[in-house]
Amino acid sequence: MTVQWVAVATFLYAEIGLILIFCLPFIPPQRWQKIFSFHVWGKIATFWNKAFLTIIVLLIVLFLDAVREIRKYSYAHAIEKSSVRSPSAYEHTQMKLFRSQRNLYISGFSLFFWLVLRRLVTLITQLAKELSTRGALKTQMENTSVAARKLMEENEKLKRLLKTYGKGEQHMLEAENKKLVEDQEKLKTELKKTSDALSKAQNDVMTMKMQSERLSKEYDRLLKEHSELQDRIEKGNKKGL
């Protein structure tokens, strides 16, 4: 096996090991999320996409090369199988074909597991975020339930207090209402009396005004008669002289 295929095989074994570790049931996704959030991964993340695409391209090239070799040695294997002149050449071609098939499987599974590994890491990260969000929502829901329970207990206490003091307060309100009604009736009575007195006073004023006008007229008439009598007396005195 050449160096490049040894590297690809090692890469395949590393992928299988990582996938098995990620699938261990006793390691929660939150733990992987903490591991993925290390500062080292933050520095590598800038080159991660480029490295991912580069490895995919290399694996695809190796896979296509293995396919080409398989087609090549399959054709040669068929020719040498029909010929019985060189058994050693047939065995050599068969060995090359086996190596080409092995390389095809190694590169194909490496490419497949590389994509699976990328998807698995993404799903673990999303699952950890969902679990964290669910935990936060659960805590918030519990706090809301506790607050709602406290409010319901306080509401029940208030209802009991209202039932206890409600009757006494109702009697007090009825007594105050009754007193207000009585005061209102008294005010109405006093207002009626005041209105009657005011009407009577207005009538008296009108009567006095009419009497004053009659007296004023009578005074004017008497004043006029007095002036006439005085004029007559003065005329009689002048004639006697």
- Please give the model's pTM, rounded to 2 decimal places: 0.51
How many CA within 13 A on the CB side of residue 209? Answer: 6
Per-residue model confidence (pLDDT) at position 46: 67
Per-residue model confidence (pLDDT) at position 240: 57
Cβ-proximal residues to 108 (8 Å cutoff; 6+ apart), any chain: 63, 66
Domain range summary for the chain, segments of one domain joined by +:
3-164
Per-residue model confidence (pLDDT) at position 66: 85
Burial of 85-100, coded b for 16+ CB within 10 Å and e otherwise, reads eeeeebeebeebbebb
Nearest to 48 by CA among 122, 112, 148: 122
What pLDDT digit, counting tens, does each position of 27-51 carry? 777 777 777 666 656 666 667 778 8
Residue 131 contacts residue 29 (beta carbons within 8 Å):
yes
* 104-109 contacts, C-beta under 8 A, 24 or more apart: 104/63, 104/66, 104/67, 104/70, 106/5, 106/8, 106/9, 106/12, 106/66, 107/8, 107/59, 107/62, 107/63, 107/65, 107/66, 108/63, 108/66, 109/12
Per-residue model confidence (pLDDT) at position 87: 58
The residue that leads in pLDDT, 240 or 23, is 23
What pLDDT digit, counting tens, does each position of 134-193 carry? 777 777 887 787 877 888 887 777 777 667 665 556 667 677 778 877 877 888 888 888
What is the distance between the alpha carbons of residues 176 and 226, in angstroms, rounded to a whole number? 73
Cβ-proximal residues to 99 (8 Å cutoff; 6+ apart), any chain: 1, 69
Residue 13 has a CB neighbour count (10 Å cut-off) of 13
Which residue is it, tokens 């590169």?
A: 107
Per-residue model confidence (pLDDT) at position 122: 82
